[in-house]
Structure 1
Amino acid sequence: MDSQYGGGGGGQGQSAGRMLTITVSDPKKENEGINAYISYKVNTQTNLPEYSYGQFSVIRRYSDFVWLSEQLNKDVPGSIVPPLPEKAVVGRFSAEFVESRRRMLEKFLTRLSAHEELRESKYFKLFLQADDAGLVAAKAEQKADKEKKGGLASISSWFDDTMNSISISMNASEAKERSPADEKIEEVVAYINNLEVQMGNVAKHTSGLMKRNRELANGLFEFGLAFTLLGQMETDPLSTALTKLGHTADQLSLLVTEQVSKETAHFEEPMYDYIRVLGAVKAALAARARHKHALALACVDLENKKNLAAKLAGQPGKEERAALAEHAVEKAQGDVATARDAFEQVSARVIREMERFKREKANDMRRIVLDYTSMQIEHTKRVEHQWQALLPELEAISDSPDDYYARAPPPIPPPPPPPQPLGAANPEEDNLADNPDLVGV
C-alpha cells in the first residue's frame, strides 16, 4: 500500500483489487486582478462501487482543497489529515510556484486515498465527484449548520482558549487518573517536538545548500565565459584548450542548475513537506486533548450536579427543585458517557495514527535519502564525464616554447606603400634637391 505521508505521483489507494487513482493536472489562471485564481483539474480513476463512474474529472481551486481539509478534521477527529501547501501572496501565478503547488495538491489527495478512514469520508467523495453546483450547495449547508450552532461553537471556542491557557481543576476521579494511553501520548508528544526541531534544522541547512549550489551554477557560467574570452586572445593549441575549458565550465553550470532543480523537487520540498506533516500530527494530538478536556468538564459538571441534588434531597418545600436536580444529574451522566465514548474513540484513533506515522515516516525518510544519494551519484558521474572530455585537449598543449612558436602562424608583413600617381613628385628626389651635400653620394 502507498504511504499516507510519502508519495509524489498520482494518488493510488489499492488493496485486495480496490483501486483509487487520483491526479491533479492542467493548472489554469481564471479571472484577472484581485479576483484571479488558479484552477486545477482533479482526475479520478476507480473501481470502487461507491463512485458513480469509473473515470471522471472535476475542476477545483485551492480554497476547495482547504474546505475539504477542514471538513475531514471535523468528520474524523484524531486522524492525521495530510497538510496542504501554504498560501502565497507574492509570485502565486509564476510557473514555478503553480507547478510546485500542483504537485503538493496531488500529494495531498494521494495521502487521502491511501488513508483507510479519511478516504471513506463523505466529504472526500463529494470533493472528487460533485459538480460545481453540488460543491457550492455542500459548502452552503455547512455554513448554515455552523451559524445554527453559533452559540455552541462560541462556547466550545471559549473552552478551547481557556483550556489552552490555564490548567483545569478536575474533581472527578476519571480526570485525575493517568491511563496507559496518556503516558503513551506524552511520549509521542515529546518525540514529535524533538523531531520538529531536528527536521527544521535539516530543512534550514538544505535550503542553504540549495542556495550555494545556485551560486555555484552562476559562478561556473561566469568562469566559463572568462576562459572563452581568454581563449580568443591566444593561438592554437592553447586557444582551443582554453575555449574548451570555458565550454566545459558552461556545461557544468547547466548540470548544476539541473541538479538544483531535481534536489529542490525531490529533497528540499519533501523536507519542508514533512514539517507540515508534523503540524498535522500535532493537530491530531490537539483533537485528542480537546476531547479529554471535554470529558473532564463533563465529569466536573456531573460532580457539581450530584452535590446540588444531595444538598436538596430531603429538604422540606424543595421537592420540586430536588426532582429537577436529579433529572439534571441523569442528563449529566449521559453527557459524561457520551464524552467518554467520544474521547476513547478519538484516543484509540490517535494512537493508531501515531503508530502508522512512525512506521511510514521511517520508510519515507529512507526513500528520500536514497533518492538524494542516487541523484548525487548520477550528478557526479556526469560532472566527471565533462572533465574527462576536457583532459585530452589540455594534454595536447605542448610544454616546449619552441613547439608553441613553431606552431604559431608567421608574422604578417606590413602592407606595401600605396602606389604613386603618374606625374607625382618623388619625395626622395625632393630631399636630394633640397640637400646639395648629398648630391653624388
Structure 2
Amino acid sequence: MAAVQARGLYQFDGDASNGEISFLADEILTIVRQDIGEGWWEARKETGEQGLIPETYVELLSIPEPQFPPPPPPNFPVDLPVQTPTYNNVNHGDGQTEDWDDEWDDDDDQSSNSTAKQSYNNNNEPQGTGNFGLSAPKRERKQISPTSDMSKYGTVKSSFNRFSHFVKLGGDAYIMGQVNHEVRETDLIKIIETNDGPEWTPLQSPYTCTVSSPKKESKMKGLKSFITYHLTPSFSNIQVSRRYKHFDWLHERLVEKFICIPIPALPDKQISGRYEEDFIQERMRMLQQWIDRMVRHPVIAHSDVMLHFLTCTNDKKWKEGKRKAEKDPYLAGKFFLCLQTPPHSCDMKAVEAQMEVFCRFVMNMNENCKSIIAINNDFSKKHMGPFKREFQKIGHSYKNLSTTFALEEGAYSLQLTKAIDFMGDSYCSIGDMFEKQPPKDLFPLIESLSEYRGILQTYPDVLKVHEGAVGKTKDCLKLQEEGKMTDGEVQNVMQRADTISFGTLAEMHNFHHERVKDYKDMMQNYLKSQIEFYKQITSKLEASLAMFDNA
C-alpha cells in the first residue's frame, strides 16, 4: 500500500513528553496512523522521528486506494432458509404505525446514558491501550481541586494533550478558517448587545410542552417491551408518542450541535424495575423537567431538531428529519458559522476576566448545591424518622397522663382530662405531618437543585471550547510577531475567536437570567409550603390551647 503523505499547514511545536513531534509549515510528513482519536494522527518525519501530530495542522497530499481482504468463507450451509422477523407496529390511533423504531437498537438499555454496556468502563468509555508507551487517555470524572488538575478557567486539564477537546469538536478548524459554508438567512442565530452584555435574541413565540400518559407497549410479538410518553406542545396541541431512546437521540443531537450551550443529562437508565409504576412516574416527571428546560432556551426551542422531535407524527417524514439532523452541516465547531454577532470586537483581556469569574462561580455554585442537597436530604430523613417519633412520644406521654386523670371521675376534672387528651392527639398528628411534609417542599427543592448540578457539571466542556479559542488566538499572535502569519490572517482568526466569545457570553448571561428566575421560584415555593406547614402546626396548638379555656 502506498504511504499517505501530508504537508504541514502551520508550524507545530510538539510536547515530547506527550509523544508529540514538532514540524514546520510546508514540511512533508508520512502519516503512519489516522485512528489515534481526538484529532490526532501518528506521523513520521524524513529524519525518522515519529510521534503524534494534530490533524488540523496538516493537509493530505496523497490518499492510497483502499485494499480490501478477501471475504471469509461461509461457516454455515448456504441453502438454509433465511427467517425474516416480524415486528409489531405501534398504532397511534390516527391510522399510522410507528415502525420507524426499527432503525434504532431494539433495547432501551443501549443509549448514551446507559451504564450497562459491555466492553466499556464505568464511565461509558471504550477500554483500550495507549500508543508510544504512553498510558491510554484517562477520562474518568475527576474531583476538581483548586490546586491540582486545573486550567486557568477552572476546568480540568487533559492529561493526554493540550488541544484534544477543542480540536475534537472542530474548534481549531473553525478558528483557522478551514471550514466554510454558506449559511442561509433562516439558519442565522442573532446575538444582541444589551446593558448586561451579549445575549441571545429572546424567544418571539414562547411555548410549553407536557409529558404525560406513560404506557407500556411492545413489538416483536411481545419480545421487546418499552414505555411510551405522550408529548403535547402548546403551539400545536397535537400529541406525539416518544420512547426514552428518542429522548436520548435528541440529547445526542443537541450536545453535538450546540457546543457552547450546556445540555443537561437525561435521567439515568435503569435495567431492573423500569416497568414499576413509581419508577415510570418518577422518570416522567424528570423528563418533563428536562423538556421544560429545553423549550425555554432561546436557541434550542425553535431549532429544527427540537421542532422535529416535538411535532413529527409521520413515519416517512420522521426518517427524513432524523437523517437531516444527523447530517446537519452546522454541527460542533461549524455551529459558530450560524452566529450573527454585534459589529464590534471583543476585548480579549476583559472577556478572559469574565470567564475566570464565571468559572469560579460555576465551581462554587456546584459545591453549594451539593451541600444544600446533602443537608436537606438529612433534614428530610429527620422529618420522616426522629421528628415524627419525638412528637409522637410527646403526644403519647400526654395521652398517658389523661388516662391517669380519667381514673378520677369527678365532674370538675372531666374537661381538663379531655383537654390534655386532645393535646396528646395534636402532638401525634403533628408527628404525622412532619412525616408527610418532605414530598411537598424538601423533595421538590432537592430535585430542582439536582437539575442545576446536572447543568453545572456540563459547563467545563463548554468553557474548554472558549479556552481553546483564546489559547489558539494567542498562539497566532505569537506567530504574527515571529513573521510566520500575516496581519490579515491573524485578524481573521481574532474575528472568529470573537464569535466564539460572543456565543459563550450570550449563553453565560442566559444561564444567569434563568438562574435568577428559577431560584426565586424555587425559594418562594419552598417558603410558602413551609409557612403553610407551620401555620397548620400553629392551628393545632391553638386548638389545643382553646380546649383549656373550659377546663
TM-score past 0.5 threshold: yes
Indicate the structure (1 or 2) with the bigger Cα radius of gyration: 1
- Kindly indicate whether residue 422 of structure 2 is the aligned counterpart of residue 252 of structure 1: no
Between the aligned partners of 1:131 and 1:57, the Cα distance in structure 2 is: 8
Task: Compute the displacement of 1:207 (Å).
Answer: 1.4
Asked whether the equivalents of residues 41 and 59 of structure 1 are also in contact (C-alpha less than 8 Å), the reply is yes
CA 1:272–1:345 in 2, change beyond 3 Å: closer, same or farther? same
Task: Compute the displacement of 1:359 (Å).
Answer: 3.1
Asked whether the equivalents of residues 266 and 371 of structure 1 are also in contact (C-alpha less than 8 Å), the reply is no
1:21 aligned residue (186, 205, 208): 208
CA 1:95–1:288 in 2, change beyond 3 Å: closer, same or farther? farther
Counterparts of residues 179-198 of structure 1 (less than 5 Å): 179-198=349-368
Between the aligned partners of 2:362 and 2:293, the Cα distance in structure 1 is: 20
Task: Compute the displacement of 1:262 (Å).
Answer: 1.1
List gaps (5 residues or longer) in structure 2. Answer: 1-200, 334-346
CA 1:25–1:87 in 2, change beyond 3 Å: closer, same or farther? same
- Kindly indicate whether residue 244 of structure 2 is the aligned counterpart of residue 62 of structure 1: yes
Task: Compute the displacement of 1:229 (Å).
Answer: 7.1
Q: Deviations over 1:296-324 (max 9, x none)?
A: 89x69x99xx98xxxxxxxxxxxxxxxxx
What TM-score results when the alignment is normalised by the length of structure 2? Answer: 0.49
Find the counterpart in structure 1 of residue 521 from structure 2.
367
2:369 aligned residue (186, 199, 202): 199
Residue identity matched to 1:66: D
SS of residue matched to 1:79: coil
Between the aligned partners of 1:247 and 1:368, the Cα distance in structure 2 is: 33
CA 1:178–1:295 in 2, change beyond 3 Å: closer, same or farther? closer
Between the aligned partners of 1:97 and 1:34, the Cα distance in structure 2 is: 21
Between the aligned partners of 2:224 and 2:394, the Cα distance in structure 1 is: 45
CA 1:93–1:262 in 2, change beyond 3 Å: closer, same or farther? farther
Counterparts of residues 90-101 of structure 1 (less than 5 Å): 92-101=274-283
Asked whether the equivalents of residues 206 and 296 of structure 2 are also in contact (C-alpha less than 8 Å), the reply is no
Query: Matched residues, percent identical?
Result: 21
CA 1:362–1:19 in 2, change beyond 3 Å: closer, same or farther? closer
Residue identity matched to 2:292: T
Find the counterpart in structure 2 of residue 419 from structure 1.
none
SS of residue matched to 2:301: helix
The worse-fitting range, judged by mean Cα deviation, of 366-375 and 34-43 is: 34-43
- Kindly indicate whether residue 257 of structure 2 is the aligned counterpart of residue 75 of structure 1: yes
Between the aligned partners of 1:337 and 1:360, the Cα distance in structure 2 is: 35
SS of residue matched to 1:78: coil
Task: Compute the displacement of 1:274 (Å).
Answer: 1.6
CA 1:15–1:136 in 2, change beyond 3 Å: closer, same or farther? closer
Task: Compute the displacement of 1:202 (Å).
Answer: 1.6
Structure with greater strand percent: 2
Between the aligned partners of 1:135 and 1:253, the Cα distance in structure 2 is: 54
Find the counterpart in structure 2 of residue 217 from structure 1.
388
CA 1:213–1:123 in 2, change beyond 3 Å: closer, same or farther? same
Asked whether the equivalents of residues 27 and 41 of structure 1 are also in contact (C-alpha less than 8 Å), the reply is yes
Task: Compute the displacement of 1:242 (Å).
Answer: 5.0
Asked whether the equivalents of residues 294 and 300 of structure 2 are also in contact (C-alpha less than 8 Å), the reply is yes
What TM-score results when the alignment is normalised by the length of structure 1? Answer: 0.60
1:262 aligned residue (434, 440, 443): 440
Asked whether the equivalents of residues 23 and 42 of structure 1 are also in contact (C-alpha less than 8 Å), the reply is yes
Q: Deviations over 1:331-354 (max 9, x none)?
A: xx99x9997666443321111111
Find the counterpart in structure 2 of residue 3 from structure 1.
none
CA 1:37–1:225 in 2, change beyond 3 Å: closer, same or farther? farther
Between the aligned partners of 2:313 and 2:290, the Cα distance in structure 1 is: 20
Asked whether the equivalents of residues 14 and 20 of structure 1 are also in contact (C-alpha less than 8 Å), the reply is no
Residue identity matched to 2:430: L
Find the counterpart in structure 2 of residue 382 from structure 1.
536
Task: Compute the displacement of 1:258 (Å).
Answer: 3.4
Task: Compute the displacement of 1:386 (Å).
Answer: 0.8
2:449 aligned residue (250, 271, 276): 271
Counterparts of residues 35-434 of structure 1 (less than 5 Å): 36-46=225-235, 54-88=236-270, 92-131=274-313, 133=315, 134-135=317-318, 139=322, 179-215=349-385, 216-221=387-392, 224=395, 234-235=406-407, 237=414, 240-289=418-467, 343-394=497-548
Task: Compute the displacement of 1:384 (Å).
Answer: 0.8
Structure with greater helix percent: 1
Asked whether the equivalents of residues 77 and 346 of structure 1 are also in contact (C-alpha less than 8 Å), the reply is no
Between the aligned partners of 1:35 and 1:227, the Cα distance in structure 2 is: 59
Between the aligned partners of 2:457 and 2:238, the Cα distance in structure 1 is: 32
Residue identity matched to 2:207: L
Between the aligned partners of 1:67 and 1:44, the Cα distance in structure 2 is: 19
Q: How many residues align?
A: 320
Aligned-residue CA RMSD in angstroms? 4.1
Asked whether the equivalents of residues 217 and 253 of structure 1 are also in contact (C-alpha less than 8 Å), the reply is yes
Asked whether the equivalents of residues 305 and 325 of structure 2 are also in contact (C-alpha less than 8 Å), the reply is no
Between the aligned partners of 1:269 and 1:211, the Cα distance in structure 2 is: 15
